[in-house]
Amino acid sequence: MDIFSEKEEIDRTNFGRPHCFLLGAGASLAAFPNGDKNGRVLPVMDNFIEVLQLEHYLNRAGYEPPYDNFENIYAELSSKPEHKEIVSELEEVIYQYFEGMELPDEPTLYDHLILSLREKDVIATFNWDPFLFQAAARNNHIKKSPKLFFLHGSVAIGICHNCSLKINVHALCPKCNERTQQSRILYPVTEKNYTDDPFIKNEWDAFRHYLSQGYIFTIFGYGAPVSDVEAVKLLSEAWGKPEDKSLEEIEIIDVLSKEELGNRWEEFIHTHHYRTPENFYVSMSSRHPRRTCEALWECLMMCKPSDEKVEIPKDASFADLYSFINPRIEAEKA
Ligand SMILES: [Zn+2]
């Protein structure tokens, strides 16, 4: 059988359709298992109250340990006008906790992810943390990053309403020199509203637009919890019906079994057109950096699979990582 060689893959840059990535909480956890640069850890819903030390606020509102899941408590609190003050204090504490997070100095999985996709590609995230935005910013001198969308908002994002720009929350608007306004972050209520806030609505509209054109859709670390029924519905409408997706591919990066994941994402998958790598480094982006769509096309349509020897060097320094990726970036310029 003919093989799509590494050399051919590097030289092939003809695909215009995007590879779309969706990141859930599991992606940030996989990228930052030990927390941020200063050891500040990422909470999960089950330890959210303890990690962010919210006990004092909850006690004032009449909650005693053992606490229910934070999502349930927050939903209840925010529906009661008498707790308005405590709710806004809680929101401020949560915002500050995430805003204080910093990328570790060495390359992280998010740097690898950003470098493994092209500007035509898209990453949408449900995570509030600033890591994806910071990783894009620190690699932007190498090549413009894929497009990023923050479906629940992000503490990294500031908005200039004069110029409709989203930029680093700490920077002044490069066009009008005004201070930006913090992006809303969507707190964990059961029925999330994706249309009230203009910024969040724009992020959704843009991601849905790209997803409708996507050739590969990778879902990374997102379990589609029952509280996200509305989100999954919006994504499914944008991606389209499985029967119309005979050329496209779904990739789910998750440790669960292929069968289990196939059932969970059934409404997105055309027959057997899906794969379930157990971690990022054996996923398509790591095996075919910046060439995922080209490699998939060669494999499925031209019957020319790759030999699957490439893998993003997980432990390399920035210098070595850039040497690894550079031939691909040079080929894109040519
Ligand atoms: Zn401006």
- 169 CA to centre of ligand 1 in angstroms: 12
- Report the SS3 class of residue 172: strand
- 163 CA to centre of ligand 1 in angstroms: 4
- Measured CA to CA, the distance from residue 295 to residue 253 in angstroms comes to 18
Q: Which residues contact 268 (CB under 8 A, 6 or more apart)?
A: 217, 235, 236, 239, 242, 245, 250
- 143 CA to centre of ligand 1 in angstroms: 24
- 7 CA to centre of ligand 1 in angstroms: 44
Give the model confidence (pLDDT) of 62-102 as tens digits.
999 999 889 889 989 999 999 999 999 999 999 999 999 99
Ion ligand 1: residues, CB within 5 A, are 160, 162-163, 173, 175-176
Q: Is the pLDDT of residue 22 over 90?
A: yes
Please give the backbone phi and psi of residue 16, each rounded to the nearest 5 degrees, phi first: -100, -25
- 170 CA to centre of ligand 1 in angstroms: 13
- 100 CA to centre of ligand 1 in angstroms: 24
- 203 CA to centre of ligand 1 in angstroms: 18
- 18 CA to centre of ligand 1 in angstroms: 29
- 175 CA to centre of ligand 1 in angstroms: 5
pLDDT mean over 15-27: 97
Give the model confidence (pLDDT) of 234-257 as tens digits.
999 999 999 999 999 999 999 999
- Candidates 204, 201, 156, 206; CA nearest to 182 is 156
Cis peptide before 107 (omega within 30 of 0): no
Looking at residue 307, what is its pLDDT?
Answer: 83
Looking at residue 82, what is its pLDDT?
Answer: 96
Looking at residue 189, what is its pLDDT?
Answer: 72
- 159 CA to centre of ligand 1 in angstroms: 8
- Candidates 137, 139, 147, 128; CA nearest to 43 is 128
- 198 CA to centre of ligand 1 in angstroms: 16
- 183 CA to centre of ligand 1 in angstroms: 14
- 161 CA to centre of ligand 1 in angstroms: 7
The pLDDT confidence band at residue 327, using thresholds 50, 70 and 90, is very high
- 131 CA to centre of ligand 1 in angstroms: 24
- Measured CA to CA, the distance from residue 238 to residue 210 in angstroms comes to 9
The pLDDT confidence band at residue 114, using thresholds 50, 70 and 90, is very high
Buried b / exposed e over 281-312, threshold 16 CB at 10 Å, is bebbbbbbbbbbbbbbbbbeeeebebeeebeb
pLDDT mean over 162-190: 90
The pLDDT confidence band at residue 167, using thresholds 50, 70 and 90, is very high
- 176 CA to centre of ligand 1 in angstroms: 4
- Candidates 123, 104, 143, 121; CA nearest to 325 is 143
Give the model confidence (pLDDT) of 207-229 as tens digits.
999 999 999 999 999 998 777 88
Share of residues in the chain with pLDDT > 70 (%): 99
Looking at residue 334, what is its pLDDT?
Answer: 85
Looking at residue 17, what is its pLDDT?
Answer: 98
Q: How many CB atoms lie within 10 A of CB 323?
A: 12
Looking at residue 190, what is its pLDDT?
Answer: 66
- 165 CA to centre of ligand 1 in angstroms: 7
- Look at 187 and 152; give whichever has higher pLDDT: 152
* Pairing label, strands 157-160, 165-168: antiparallel
Looking at residue 1, what is its pLDDT?
Answer: 76
Looking at residue 188, what is its pLDDT?
Answer: 73
Give the model confidence (pLDDT) of 268-322 as tens digits.
999 889 999 999 999 999 999 999 999 999 999 999 999 878 999 999 999 999 9
Average pLDDT, the chain: 94
Q: Is the pLDDT of residue 191 over 90?
A: no
The pLDDT confidence band at residue 117, using thresholds 50, 70 and 90, is very high
